[in-house]
Chain A
Amino acid sequence: MPQLEAIQDLDFHSETYKDAYSRINAIVIEGEQEAHENYHSLGGLLPDQKDQLVGLAKMESRHKKGFEACGRNLKVTPDLEFARQFFSPLHENFQTAAAENKIVTCLLIQSLIIECFAIAAYNIYIPVADDFARKITEGVVKEEYLHLNFGEEWLKANFETSKAELEEANRANLPIVWKMLNQVDADAKVLGMEREALVEDFMIQYGEALNNIGFTTRDIMRMSAYGLATV
């Protein structure tokens, strides 16, 4: 959300900023790449909706290119190895679920957790981004809402049969997100993004998604805060 106090003066070309940016930018690029692959995998699991999923996958690819341009604009080389490590626990969980045809778990990981996290992070980043990246990110975040919506609609339509698996997948994956957040806490701060604002925006977005799917406020409060205290 918009900042109230004068935003700290960020020097986008300082070594400190560029160093932090090399990891955050890589995470975003890798995240979009994995999202692209995940939507293709989902297309295999949901053949009726393959065309739509291929469309979403293409969008993710375009987002990736946009963020690569943001890195080039600041003359930063993204640390993609760091990003792959960063995503690996979540990535592995997605792969395992996909191999077992667990559509609900796959949708929770990609369409809810990752999309909500992306939306929260992009919204928090936009007010502190450089002009070039701001324009790119504003365009991307609008489309991410469509991706979130895909998962919401499918899970809403299949709520009763998905509920138990969603709860289980939430327990298995949400704590990973909090750990990921801790890993980039210091870098995000250098970029002017505050952890508590990120967590709050994520919980708002994720809570809204769970609400749209059919969970009660009580479920949402329990699920969206799951594992946060122990991290």
Chain B
Amino acid sequence: MFGLIGHLTSLEHAQSVARELGYPEYADQGLDFWCSAPPQIVDNITVTSITGQQIEGRYVESCFLPEMLATRRIKAATRKIINAMAHAQKHGINITALGGFSSIIFENFNLSQIRQVRNVMLEFERFTTGNTHTAYIICRQVEQASKQLGIDLSKATVAICGATGDIGSAVCRWLDKRADVAELLLIARNQERLKDLQTELGRGKIMGLEEALPQADIIVWVASMPKGVEINPAILKQPCLLIDGGYPKNLGTKVQYPGVHVLNGGIVEHSLDIDWRIMSIVNMDVPARQLFACFAESMLLEFEKLHTNFSWGRNHITVEKMQQIGEASVKHGFSPLLI
């Protein structure tokens, strides 16, 4: 059995979903209540592969809300993630993806130091960040959507914003080794890590955001959008492919300009309908078929009976592992969302 740990996007969203699903005890509550709310399994999922194989999964709502980070209720935020993981493990789920902010919180607050949760000893091999599949799908989106727009990768400049992150660095590795990309622009806050990445790749220009954007034919956005940073689409090339692979996704609504094509990054479509209710709640365009690639990773690991933390820690994603998860992705009928 596979699992997905997810959360809602805001307090307001959480209240409306609780009302819609018929949980008035949760619907009328403020942030304080959600800070004390326990994790729950709220959906049973059946996924069928194009091979005919069928698997079962569970959706674990962690009750985390982004407002907990915004108001610095860090202990509450971290409790939500750890408790949701313990809940998944207690319910015998073999491999669970940490969706949305879950993996970000796990990494940033170093939650791997916490193993004992009440009477549960967390087995980290039962969890995956799903970042390998996300990075693979973003790379395939670069390769395939660029063709749709008539951008020739061998002449194209690709800017990666958030290049030193787990997903960003994996995207850089793939584009360096597997795609015939003319130029890579590396953008991130930490200069030391940027230099390390540049050394590892043996290529790529380190640049500031303002300088890089006007030069890029393709922009891969894999950093969370810091407050106050807005992209002025007038400075971008035309055509420009902007892949929004950050979390939460917000470039689509912010950037609307002729010749600038915004694509939701790290989203896959399944060839067959998935039997679940939860994706309509998280506002996917085609809820029966579209989902985050990180979630799909736990499905792929279940299909392949690879019950292991396939994506874990930071900057361990190799091109070979991306290839491996990519082959499973194709085999079972997942494809990258395109324009």
Contact = CB atoms under 8 A, between A and B. Distances in A.
A196 B109 contact: no
Nearest to A2: B114
Given A1-B82, A222-B23, A225-B25, A204 B39 contact: yes
B210 interface: no
A3 B117 CA distance: 11
Interface stretch (A23-31, A41-49, A80-88, A213-221): A213-221
Interface in B9-66: 22-23, 25-26, 28-29, 32-33, 35-42
How large, as a class, is the contact surface on chain B? Answer: 20 to 34
A150 interface: no
A222 B32 contact: no
Nearest to B90: A208
A17 B15 CA distance: 39
A99 interface: no
A221 B23 contact: yes
Given A1-B79, A1-B118, A200 B40 contact: no
A200 B37 CA distance: 6
Given A1-B118, A225-B26, A197 B75 contact: yes
B78 to A, nearest CB: 5
Interface string B112-134: 00101111000000000000000
A206 to B, nearest CB: 9
A123 B118 CA distance: 6
B282 to A, nearest CB: 18
A56 to B, nearest CB: 18
Contact of A203 (B36, B90, B109): B36
B119 A145 contact: yes
Nearest to A206: B38
Contacts of A119: 118
B311 interface: no
A5 B74 contact: yes
B146 interface: no
B114 A1 contact: yes
A199 B36 CA distance: 6
Contact of A2 (B22, B25, B39, B116): B116
A34 interface: no
B298 interface: no
A116 to B, nearest CB: 11
Contacts of B35: 196, 200
Contact of A196 (B23, B76, B82): B76
26 contacts: A1-B79, A1-B82, A1-B114, A4-B74, A4-B78, A4-B109, A5-B74, A5-B75, A123-B118, A194-B75, A197-B79, A200-B36, A200-B38, A200-B79, A203-B37, A204-B38, A204-B83, A207-B38, A208-B90, A218-B22, A220-B40, A222-B23, A222-B25, A224-B38, A225-B25, A228-B25
Interface of A: 1-5, 119, 123, 145, 194-197, 199-201, 203-205, 207-208, 217-218, 220-222, 224-226, 228-229
Interface of B: 22-23, 25-26, 28-29, 32-33, 35-42, 74-76, 78-79, 82-83, 87, 90, 109, 111, 114, 116-119
